[in-house]
Amino acid sequence: MRFSNAHLAKKSNHNRNLQRERWSWFGPLLWSFLGMTAIVTFFIFFFITPRNPFLVLGPKLLKEKQRCNLFKGHWVEEARGAGMYTNWSCPTIPESKNCFKQGRKDMDFVNWRWKPDECELPRFDPTAFLHLLRGKKLAFIGDSVSRNHMESLLCILSQVETPQDVYKDSDDRFRRWYFPKTELALIMLWTKFLVAGKERVVNGTGTGVFDLQLDKLDDGWIRHLPDIDYVIISSGHWFFRPLYLHEGTNIVDCVYCNDPNITTHNPDFALKMALRVAFKYINDCKSCGKLVTFVRTFSPAHFEDGIWNTGGYCNRTSPLSAKEIDLESFDWKLRDIQLEEMEKANREGETMIGRRFMAIDVTMAMMMRGDGHPGEFWGNKWMRGYNDCVHWCMPGPIDAWSDLLMAVMRKEAAMDS
């Protein structure tokens, strides 16, 4: 990529020289005209642009946009090649999500665009995004699906500026990318449960049973918060396991534990408790800055005829329609809980120090996209026969999360002006 950029730059220099010769008589005139335009533009912007650079829409258009529910809609077909990057133009696609490289043959699933029922969702504009987030730190807090979102955003942004790989731990759980020109940092802070959690180990092997501490957050993410401007927080998939929930030294509840002495709950209960503690911490964080929190809602898995270890698969090649999805499902319930807790935290934040929480509600859109997962094409030699119907192919429908992110960020910015 660097080579081709250098080559292009040389070529455009050459062209510019030619142009300059041809138009030399026009130069002084043009410059004075440009100069005047610049001065006028500066004054217009200085006086009528609110202090917030995100606000690029007129007030009327903006109001309409704010009223529109971006998250309720359907997928519409786009022309071929509508994707924002390919596996050639983005060198950082992880092997396990590079579905085409891993042998996926059908390609039409890339060419769909999310269409809110009441308005148009603008496509993500990487140049604008980088400039608007100049100098900021954006952290993704959550599990491997959260990382999947960061990887997708990274590919989209890297089409206009090459990021530096600043930090990577051995498990690829904590990661930091930096865009040197615009000084934007993308940070992955891995956490399974948001709260502190430990797997029960018997004879050196994990049991898949976890102890969660409901009064203690996972230090892996909270210790970074004071340094961060925006977080995209998400959680959910790890709560579908046997969990013992602790407060102090007492076991208070459990999920899927068959213990007659402990109240048993469904995974949504544990998720609700974890979110409540996490959001309260964010609202109470004295050492944090302005810190805006985006809550990305539950990203559904699409195993059919089984689950991951019982032969479940996901080999559809096109999206479902809005009529075909089930809004009574457990996925939707988790999404409702996330939004409820978020709204509660937002109200508390407003009355206290003014921390803001906003939703990136991807659940409905993604419920329709059983065609967007790697399925068998995730390149894992040791787990052949298991399908990945949880993560998302890149490029693919997960790229729309950044369209939504940008729209919500613009709304957030407009609230300050």
Ligand X SMILES: *[C@@H]1O[C@H](CO)[C@@H](O)[C@H](O)[C@H]1NC(C)=O
98 lies in the site for ligand X, by CB under 6 A: yes
Give CA–CA dist 89/110, Å, rounded: 15
Nearer to ligand X, 53 or 94 (CB): 94
- Whether 388 is a known active-site residue: answer yes
Among residues 143, 331, 388, 399, the one annotated as catalytic is 388
What is the tally of helices (H) and strands (E) in the chain? 10, 14
Q: Shortest gap between Cβ of 163 and ligand X (angstroms)?
A: 17
Nearer to ligand X, 189 or 393 (CB): 393
Please give the distance of CA 83 from its chain centroid, rounded to a whole number. 17
Count, residues near ligand X per rule CB under 6 A: 11
**246-265 residues near ligand X, rule: CB under 6 A:** 259, 261
Element (H, E) at 131: helix 126-132
- Whether 131 is a known active-site residue: answer no
Nearer to ligand X, 35 or 306 (CB): 306
Binding-site string for ligand X from residue 291 to residue 320, where x marks contact by CB under 6 A and - marks none: ----------------------x-x-----
Residue 123 carries which DSSP code?
P
387 lies in the site for ligand X, by CB under 6 A: no
Nearer to ligand X, 169 or 259 (CB): 259
> Environment class of residue 79 by beta-carbon count within 10 Å: exposed (0-12), middle (13-18) or buried (19+)?
exposed
Angle CA 358–364–369, to nearest 5: 125
Nearer to ligand X, 203 or 250 (CB): 203
Which position among 88, 287, 382, 384 is part of the footprint of ligand X (CB under 6 A)? 88
Nearer to ligand X, 66 or 162 (CB): 162
**184-203 residues near ligand X, rule: CB under 6 A:** 202-203
- Strand 137-142 to strand 184-190: parallel, antiparallel, or no bridges (unpaired)? parallel
Sorted by sequence, the CB contacts under 8 Å of residue 167 that are 6+ apart come out as 174, 175, 176
Give CA–CA dist 299/366, Å, rounded: 6
- Whether 373 is a known active-site residue: answer no
Q: Shortest gap between Cβ of 385 and ligand X (angstroms)?
A: 11
Q: Partners of 77 in the beta sheet?
A: 112
Nearer to ligand X, 142 or 375 (CB): 375
Among residues 218, 391, 399, 403, the one annotated as catalytic is 391
Contact 375, 313 (CB under 8 A): yes
Q: Partners of 313 in the beta sheet?
A: 304
87 lies in the site for ligand X, by CB under 6 A: yes
Element (H, E) at 46: helix 27-48
Q: Partners of 139 in the beta sheet?
A: 187, 231
Q: Shortest gap between Cβ of 72 and ligand X (angstroms)?
A: 28
Q: Shortest gap between Cβ of 88 and ligand X (angstroms)?
A: 6
Task: Report the chain's C-alpha Rg in angstroms.
Answer: 24
Options 3-11, 94-102, 228-236, 295-303: segment touching ligand X (CB under 6 A)? 94-102
Residue given tokens 């903006």 in the structure block: 62
Full strand arrangement of the beta sheet holding 230-233: 164-168, 174-179, 184-190, 137-142, 230-233, 292-296, 356-360
What's the chain's length in residues? 417
**113-152 residues near ligand X, rule: CB under 6 A:** none
Q: Shortest gap between Cβ of 115 and ligand X (angstroms)?
A: 25
Q: Shortest gap between Cβ of 271 and ligand X (angstroms)?
A: 25
Nearest Cα to Cα of residue 388 among 299, 321, 298, 296: 299
Which position among 71, 85, 100, 298 is part of the footprint of ligand X (CB under 6 A)? 100
Residues near ligand X (CB under 6 A) are: 87-88, 98, 100-101, 202-203, 259, 261, 313, 315
Catalytic residues, by residue number, are 144, 388, 391
